[in-house]
Each structure stands twice: as structure tokens, then as C-alpha cells.
Amino acid sequence: MRKQSLSERRSFLGGLLASLGAFALPLAKAGDILISDTHSHVALRMGPAICMRCDLSDAGVSLISWALVSDGPFLQRQPSGEILVNFKPTVDQLREAYQRMLGGMQRRISGENLRLVRSAEDVNLALKGQLHIVLSTEGAHFLGGDPNYLDVVYAQGVRQVGLGHFLEGDLLDIRTAAPKIGGLSALGRETILRCNQLGIVIDLAHSTDQAVAQALEVSKQPMLWSHSAITPQATDWRSRSNHIMSVSLANAKVIAQRGGLIGIWPSRFNFKDPNAYVAALGEAVAELGEDHVAFGSDMQGLAPAHTMMEAYSGLREVVNLMLASNMPETTVRKVAGENYARLLKAVLR
């Protein structure tokens, strides 16, 4: 075998180090990439002794939508994961539940000295690495037919409102029940316009495709679908597949075209492992553009058998996998954190 010259060995080692550096460099940068989350229930089921800030800060999360479940006390989760409605509550019961849950969240926020997003300037601080919470709701049942109640909600610090969930309401049709409204009601239209006026992000998750299409025609501001997969065709309440909660590609494209955002949901209903989730994020970017895809974790909102992660260290792993998959760093930064911040700044007053 011919003995390599010194120059040949140096050339080989240089090439090897360069190739290793090309792989290692993105991973080295991963820790300074902001993580934001369009939909989370982290720590809502945990006692006050649990440190919410610790999990978020350790993973490098600086912006999350922390959502109370407006119809939560009236729902029952089955071992299969199916959600059943126990009974139809009154407006007073819904508002009492909302105020009680919000009070618990506010106590934790105060106890851990967490910062709330109230304005675009707060979002700018989050982009600099200061942890901020977007108070949110999943479902708007507490409105009780009165869009002006949003003024109360806004004054309490809420900056993101989901219009539907599992309990049928009077704003729009939901994906898990037979349609009764025909999409979006007149009250739903008034609610969207009032959110626009106040500067509240509207979350369309759990809405039917017909309701989403109609809402997009009404809103003067970009809109959010906070958590699900994207399917080529629309699904509805008759679907028995794992994609019943998914937004159609057609509606996702219109949300994106109007400046909005799709939060991709890392659930085992849709993806077998983090690599499959990363692949789906790449596909969504290809379909919608890199400015219109985000993390929508639904953190701790699912039964353990159906969730891919129970802590934000899981999303940090996803960032590493995105970089290792050769996704451009600029795209990773947008999807992992910057896109949600952009949407908030566009809507907030």
C-alpha cells in the first residue's frame, strides 16, 4: 500500500474535520434558537409545587400560549382517548368555571413571577429570550352569547381565544359533532370582529372546515390554527380516522395566504416518533411557506398514551432533529419560535 504524503494526510484530515464541522455546527447553534408554542396546557393539572418556569427555561422556551379549557369541567375523557360531554352547562356555570380556572393560572403566574404578553413590546422581549406567557382559552363558551364579554376577558390579560372545543356552542360548528349552524353563526362573526378590534388572536382549531372558510372571510386580522396535522382532504365528525381533528390543506393555504399560522401537533394520533413529526413540519413548510408553520404542542393536554412528549425538552430535541435534517437554520428559527411571535405582533394593539 502506498504511504500517504504529509500533504495528502493534511488534506484528508482537513476534509474530515470540515465534514464533521458541517454536521456539528447546526447542533451547536440549537441551544440559542427560540422556542415558542401556539398551544399548551403545561402544569394545569399539576400542584403549585411544580416549577412551570423550570421546564420552560431549561428547554429555552420564551413564548407559549397557555390555554385554559373553557368546557373542561363538563367533559369526561374515556380510556380510549375519546372525549364525552357530561352535560350542557348554563352560562353562569361556564363563566364561573372560566373565572375559577383563570384565577388558578393567575396565582401560578404571580407565584412564579412570570410575565404576560399584553402588547407587541412584550413579544419583542420574548424574542430577546425573556419568558412570556400568552393567556389563552380553548373554547369561548363563557361568552354566553355576548361578544362584549370579550372586554372583560381582555382586561384580565387574555390575548388568544379559541372559538370552539368539544362542547357545542353558539359561535360555530365543531369537528366532533354533526353541524347545526352551517359553519359560522352571526354571533361568531360578531365575536371575530370584536377580537379584531381589541387585538385578540383568534384560534380556529376544533372548527369545521366550513366554519374556518367562513371565518377567514370575516376576519380583518391573520388567524391561527393552533394544533393539528394537515390532511389533503377535509375530514369531519363522521371520520373515524386519527385525522378527525386535522385542518384541510385548502384551508391551511388560505390561513397562510392571509398572514396566519398553522401549529403542527406532535401527537401519536398523527406521528409515530419525533422524526416523523420533523418530516411533517418540513412538508408543511413546503406547502405553506416557512413563515406560516409553528409548534402547536398541546403540551400535557393529551393522555400519556397519545402524546409524544410531556416536557419541553422534547421540543428542544425536535429543534436538534430539524437542524440535523438539513433544514435551513433560518427556517428552523421561524418554525421553532419566530412565526408565532410575528403573528402575535400583527394582531396585538
Amino acid at 277: Y
pLDDT of residue 332: 98
What does the alpha-carbon distance between residue 240 and residue 75 come to, in Å, rounded to a whole number? 20
Q: Rounded to an integer, what distance in angstroms lies between the CA atom of residue 272 and that of residue 269?
A: 8
Q: pLDDT value at position 72?
A: 83
CB 142 within 8 A of CB 98: yes
Output the pLDDT for position 149.
Answer: 97
Classify burial at 242, counting beta carbons within 10 Å of its beta carbon; exposed 0-12, middle 13-18, buried 19 or more: middle
Bridge partners, 133 (sequence order): 64, 116
Map 3-43 to HEC letters: CCCHHHHHHHHHHHHHHHHHHHHHHHHHHHCCEEEEEECCC
Between CA 175 and CA 166 the distance in angstroms is 8
Spatial contact of 53 and 114, defined as CB atoms under 8 Å apart? yes
- pLDDT score of 26: 41
CA 327 and chain centroid, separation:
21
Q: What is the pLDDT of residue 88?
A: 83
Query: What pLDDT sits at residue 103?
Result: 95
Question: Is the domain 35-347 a CATH 3.40.50.620 member?
Answer: no
Domain ranges, ordered by start, for the chain = 35-347
Give the length of the chain. 349
Among residues 310, 311, 309, 329, which one has the least CA distance to residue 319? 329
Q: To 10 degrees, the CA torsion angle through 168, 174, 179, 183?
A: 110
pLDDT at 313: 94
Indicate the Cα dihedral angle 154, 102, 125, 282, nearest 10°.
-100
Work out whether strand 224-228 and strand 230-231 pair parallel, antiparallel, or are unpaired. unpaired
Average pLDDT of adjacent 10-residue blocks, the chain of 349 residues? 42 38 45 93 79 90 95 75 76 94 94 96 96 96 94 98 90 90 96 98 95 97 95 71 80 97 92 95 98 95 81 95 96 98 95
pLDDT value of position 170: 93
